[in-house]
Amino acid sequence: MEKVVIIGSGPAGWTAALYTARAQLAPLVLTGKQPGGLLTTTSIVENFPGFPEGVDGYELMTRMQKQAERFGAKTSFGVVESVDFSKNPFALTVDGETVEAETVIIATGASHKHIGVPGEDLLETKGVTYCATCDGALPVFRNQPLVVVGGGDSACEEALYLTRFGSVVYLVHRRDSLRASKIMAERVRAHAKIKPIWDSAVTEILDVKQDKVTGVKLKNLKTGLESVLDCAGVFIAIGHGPNTELFKGQIETDANGFIAPKLGTMTNISGVFVAGDCADQVYRQAITAAGAGCAAAIDTERYLSARNE
């Protein structure tokens, strides 16, 4: 039986692993399908303290993993299929095998939201993508008009990154002001290749018949006017939803699916803790996720000490 199992390998997961490893609890980290989490798909992280020149997202996560492993964290590239938190030890089914755990830290993060318009799902990987750093350099997007949907930091970051490849980058936002931080919004406004399209929604992605993206249908939400904008790629950056489906019926969440801790980082199940974006609708930063991972590790350590006294 494992003393501590950590589900997820983003900043929350690896920080929880570092702290529980240093407490000699030999945590087992189940990385999930995307080792390192969403941050591995970011280009340069400029706001993680300690890196004055910025740091590549993938490199930051690899460093966190190495640091946790140095103190005895164990890594498994397993994907959790189901959990049973009805009794302790808890039982997790991981790639068909059962893993027993005295405590569990949930750090499953969040995933990209979809806009839910015709063409979006059918043209995914055929011009529709949720990650400019992963796909932006593909030949199909070179010197072509590209569309980014959203008005937050992610959309701004995607748009700025895509200026390296596209002929023009249209930033389609449903309002007339950006939600993004001032510094990102100013960079976007100042870039000659980025053309904002305000108060507008993408209502359809074209063209399923041709099996590739050729454009988007737009609707101006103020005037109701509809138009078609030609483009070779649609990069959707409208935020994230929590990865908590796995725990439905066992761990209490709010109406949006975010886990709501009860006491510190402890969930409604004694011995199950939570950290990071799957429990955070407000801050959603790498550094706040890392901080929450630290807190969950300390709570876990104290829980185990009290239990085994």
Is-catalytic flag, 278? no
| C-beta of 58 vs 71, nearer to ligand NAP | 58
Distances (CA, A) of 65 to 8, 19, 62, 245: 12, 12, 5, 25
Of these residues, 84, 95, 121, 134, which one is catalytic? 134
Query: Which runs of consecutive H residues, i.e. helices, occur in the chain?
Result: 11-22, 57-70, 132-135, 153-162, 182-190, 286-308
Least separation in angstroms between residue 166's CB and ligand NAP is 19
Measured at the CA of 127, the angle between CA 216 and CA 194, to 5 degrees, comes to 60
Least separation in angstroms between residue 178's CB and ligand NAP is 7
Q: Give residue number: closest CB to ligand NAP.
A: 152
Least separation in angstroms between residue 232's CB and ligand NAP is 20
- Shortest CA distance to 266 belongs to which of 279, 257, 282, 277? 279
Bridge partners (DSSP) listed for residue 4: 103
| C-beta of 250 vs 288, nearer to ligand NAP | 288
Least separation in angstroms between residue 45's CB and ligand NAP is 7
* Distance from the Cα of residue 32 to its chain's centroid: 13
Is-catalytic flag, 277? no
Query: Within 10 Å of residue 240's Cβ, how many Cβ atoms?
Result: 19
| C-beta of 203 vs 268, nearer to ligand NAP | 203
**Which residues lie near ligand NAP (CB under 6 A)?**
47, 115, 149-155, 157, 174-175, 179, 181, 237-240, 284
Q: How many CA atoms lie within 13 A of 259 on its CB side?
A: 33
- Shortest CA distance to 114 belongs to which of 190, 21, 50, 202? 202
Alpha-carbon dihedral 38, 39, 44, 50, rounded to 10 degrees:
170
| C-beta of 32 vs 150, nearer to ligand NAP | 150
| C-beta of 5 vs 45, nearer to ligand NAP | 45
| C-beta of 16 vs 188, nearer to ligand NAP | 188
Kindly give the pairing relationship between strand 215-220 and strand 200-206: antiparallel
Is-catalytic flag, 254? no
- Shortest CA distance to 279 belongs to which of 118, 125, 106? 106
Least separation in angstroms between residue 274's CB and ligand NAP is 18
Of these residues, 131, 156, 231, 278, which one is catalytic? 131
Secondary structure (3-state) at 82: strand
Least separation in angstroms between residue 31's CB and ligand NAP is 21
The catalytic site residues sit at 131, 134-135
